[in-house]
Amino acid sequence: MQWQDPGTGLNSIAKAAPTARQKCNPDVVIFLTTKRLPDTPWRVVECTPMLEIHDLACLRGDRLLFRRLGLSVQAGELWRIAGANGVGKTSLLRLLCGLATPDEGEVRWQRKTIQQERESFHAALLYLGHASALNDLLTPLENLHFACAAAGDAVDTAACSAALTRIGLGQQLDLPTKVLSQGQRRRVGLARMLLATQRLLWILDEPFTALDVAAAAELAQVIAQHAKAGGMVIFTSHQDADFGMPVRTLDVGKFGGAFSA
Amino acid sequence: MSKAFIAVLRRDLLLAWRSRADLLVALSFFVVVASLFPFGVGSDPDQLRAIGPGVVWVAALLATLLALPRMFSQDFDSGVLEQLLLSQEPPVVWVSAKIAAHWLSTGLPLVVVSPLLALMYGLKPSAIEVLALALLIGTPILSLIGAIGAALTLGLRGAGSLLALLVLPLMVPVLIFGAGSVDAWASGIGLRAHLLLMGGGLFAALALAPFASAAALRITMD
Amino acid sequence: MNLFKFSSPQTFYSLAGKLAPAFGVIAAVLAAIGLYISFFVAPTDAVQGEVYRIIFIHVPAAWMSMVIYLAMAFWSAIGLGLGTRVSFYMSKALAPTGALFCFLALWTGALWGRPTWGTYWAWDARMTSQLLLLFLYFGHIALTNAIEDARRADKAGAIIALVGAVNIPVIYFSVKWWNTLHQGSSINLTKISVVNTMLIGMLIMALAAWAYSIAVALVRVRSIILERERRTEWAGVEIAAQGGRA
Amino acid sequence: MNWDSLSAFIDMGGRGAFVWGSYGVTLALIVAELWTLSQRRRDTLRRLSRLQQLNGDELNGNDSQSS
């Protein structure tokens, strides 16, 4: 288990700072925040996690889904959110994105809460939810192009159709999305990932659902590539996939509510 | 104009075009409701001329109301709204685009068809112009106010009737000045005051309603 | 189980429990004095006769319905701005009483109108705005009840209360404009020659209505707080203590 | 004192129905509101303490995770 004790998360970082000063080279490590101390000639590098979750609690109606949930994610890490149905995996992902407000605790992106840093956080975030975010009357190409443009990515139609062709939807570019199968719809999301590699944090809700073996392998490869390039991926999944790299696991069930009034 | 605004506006207009059959239904509703009144109140030309502007306005109000749930519900169900909320742009930008697209696809056709109905009610050509002008200024206000209600009632059971209860009282001032402008013009008082007030109302609604709708959408999605 | 450590609902709960009876007593005393003045001190009106005595409830009810809506908007703004849950609870607790006074203003207005102007209902600016205000109350209550998620209901209710409050002056002004333009029913509401005792009676009745509204809202907010804060430790204790007696 | 007798008081100068109609409905609605308020408090307490008991039983047994 990699999750930190939420109460002491920041303290342990502060304590770790002296060692970091000796070991890290500020010019090499990209994803670390650097700070100049007032009385010292050198810069102190604090090995800060990019995304920190502190003491998070989530209520759904009358049920307490989880509480005191803590997690810190650093660049290059791959996290799988595990837990049985209904423990609040999707709720957790929505909290991480800032779509929902936590009942307690907070989510921090580069040391600031995601509410304070909304714009820069959302610029660095790709979230693919349970719903496909596709409109049935538009073609996959139109859907993908709109998704990129609405998110604020400058991606032209050619790049969109190239991405769709690469993941095997080259024949369906100009068909309405309603004729696509579930797996094909999911592939549009895969294409969106290919076009969002510059976004550091990917949060994916059940990305493997409805994908066939080949597409699932391709997805695993895309995810692993993103993490190896310094990105972060947090996902939920019921299937096992081979990423060719270590996957850390957070079991939401362990933070389950002790009561449900 | 921002990228997200253009993207949302273009997409929503494209979608409106692809589902134009639905829009025609709302437009036919407008025409049918407005043509029902003579059967209820009789066909006395003077009376019809007197109630004409009001009838057209009430029908426009109801037709707008009928089309309002469509503004967000499809995107709510399909997850597009979630994606839009995660956009870098502040929500008010794309909410404005959605309201604009909604008015262009449902409000503007009402304005275009209204002279036809006014003719059926025996309004003079100049009165018809006044009515169309008032609708042109007034229907965007209806869409703007309606957007708040549509965002608040998103995904609720009985959203349609709840929406009507919420927004119709708020739309009364628009109805008063919209229908009143024709009377004012006909009685020689002049249009200026009415149109200025409606224009002011439009600016106020433009300045406030998108923010209120954006806040309402955030609350609904939370 | 000290998870939701917000003290303010708890403090407010006990504060409301202490204040509500006090305001209830004030309301009862003021109403008694007000009723005595309205029936036994205030003289018969020269023009309208005895029927004008309806204004001792009509006018305070109309005032109250407006004041309560504004109070709801005020609490809503505070709730949205500061995120204090108690503000939302107060806003919700005030709505039914506001709707009640709004209906009473309409009802007594109609009963006053019939003998005075020969009609129960006139499309008069004040009565029409009052009717629209009643619709605003209905909309608010219906919306907050239709939303199952309590937090969403709080905030959605707050937004519609604020939008409504912004619209109230617009509605009143437009209805007045419409009324003067159409000249359909010009009713002069100030036909009574107001004497001092009438004014004092009306003011005392209005104060009684204020005290009553505060008392009722405080009692209602206590139920709402218990319902919504039931997961907290203190509410659990309170429920266990009071529930046995209920 | 405005009234010669009780019947004059009730008659209200011939407008008794309107005056008492107003005051009566006001009184009735206020009584109804107070009654629903006390009912509401009692119902809330009863329901919540019932839930509390149920929940206590559940905690002593196995905490279920299904939704």
| Domain annotation covers residue A40 | no
Tell me the DSSP string of B98-157. HHHHHIIIIIHHHHHHHHHHHHHTT--HHHHHHHHHHHHHHHHHHHHHHHHHHHHTTT-T
Of B15, B77, B221, the CB nearest to A138: B15
Q: Which of B176, B203, B221 to mutate to test the interface with C (most CBs of C within 10 A)?
A: B176
Residue A238 is predicted with a pLDDT of 81
| Domain annotation covers residue A63 | no
- pLDDT at residue A14 is higher than 50: no
Percent of chain B with pLDDT over 90: 79
Of D55, D63, D66, the CB nearest to A261: D55
| Domain annotation covers residue A45 | no
| Range of the structural domain that residue B26 is part of | 3-221
Inter-chain residue contact C160 with B156, CB threshold 8 Å: no
- Residue that has been written with the tokens 């062709």 in this structure: A165
D33 CA to chain C: closest CA distance, Å?
8
Can you tell me the distance from the alpha carbon of B187 to that of C188, in angstroms, rounded to the nearest whole number? 25
DSSP single-letter state for residue C49:
B
Q: What is the pLDDT of residues B48-107, one digit of tens each?
A: 998 999 999 999 999 999 999 989 999 999 999 999 999 988 999 999 999 999 999 999
| Domain annotation covers residue A9 | no
| Domain annotation covers residue A16 | no
A237 or B62: which carries more pLDDT confidence?
B62
Which partners does chain B have (≥3 C-beta pairs < 8 Å)?
Answer: A, C
Can you tell me the distance from the alpha carbon of C227 to that of D41, in angstroms, rounded to the nearest whole number? 10
Can you tell me the distance from the alpha carbon of B153 to that of B147, in angstroms, rounded to the nearest whole number? 10
B196 CA to chain C: closest CA distance, Å?
13
Inter-chain residue contact C174 with B172, CB threshold 8 Å: yes
Averaged over successive runs of 10 residues, the pLDDT of chain C (246 residues) comes to 53 91 96 91 79 89 94 94 90 96 94 85 84 96 92 94 92 81 50 73 93 96 90 84 70
Q: Based on the structure, what is the number of domains in chain B?
A: 1
| Domain annotation covers residue A23 | no
Element of type H or E holding B8: helix B3-18
Q: Based on the structure, what is the number of domains in chain A?
A: 1
| Domain annotation covers residue A64 | no
Counting CB pairs under 8 A, whether chains D and B reach 3 or more, is no
Inter-chain residue contact A259 with C148, CB threshold 8 Å: no
Q: Which residues, including other chains, have CB under 8 Å from residue B16's CB and lie 6 or more apart?
A: B23, B101, B104, B105
> Could you give the 3-state DSSP secondary structure of residue A47?
coil
Q: What is the β-pairing status of strands A104-109 and A51-60?
A: antiparallel
Residue A181: which CATH number? 3.40.50.300
- Dmax of chain B from CA atoms? 59
- Interchain contact A259–D (C-beta under 8 A): yes
Nearest Cα residue in chain A from C232: A261
Residue D1 is predicted with a pLDDT of 57
D43 CA to chain A: closest CA distance, Å?
17
Nearest Cα residue in chain D from C215: D34
Can you tell me the distance from the alpha carbon of C76 to that of C155, in angstroms, rounded to the nearest whole number? 8
Q: What is the pLDDT of residues C198-239, one digit of tens each?
A: 888 899 999 999 999 999 999 999 999 998 888 788 888 888
Residue B57 is predicted with a pLDDT of 95
Give the CA distances from residue B183 to residues B46, B131, B194, in Å, rounded to whole numbers and listed in that order: 14, 10, 10
| Range of the structural domain that residue A148 is part of | 74-253
- Interchain contact B216–C (C-beta under 8 A): yes
Nearest Cα residue in chain D from A261: D55
Among A61-70, A101-110, A173-182, A217-226, name the one with the lowest average pLDDT. Answer: A61-70
Can you tell me the distance from the alpha carbon of A143 to that of C233, in angstroms, rounded to the nearest whole number? 49
* Per-position b or e across A167-182, b if 16+ CB within 10 A of its CB: bbbeebeeebbeebee
For chains B and C, count residue pairs whose Cβ atoms are closer than 8 Å.
78
Inter-chain residue contact A133 with B85, CB threshold 8 Å: no
Sheet holding A201-204, edge to edge: A125-128, A201-204, A232-236, A78-82, A248-251
| Domain annotation covers residue A91 | yes
Q: What does the mean pLDDT of chain B come to?
A: 92
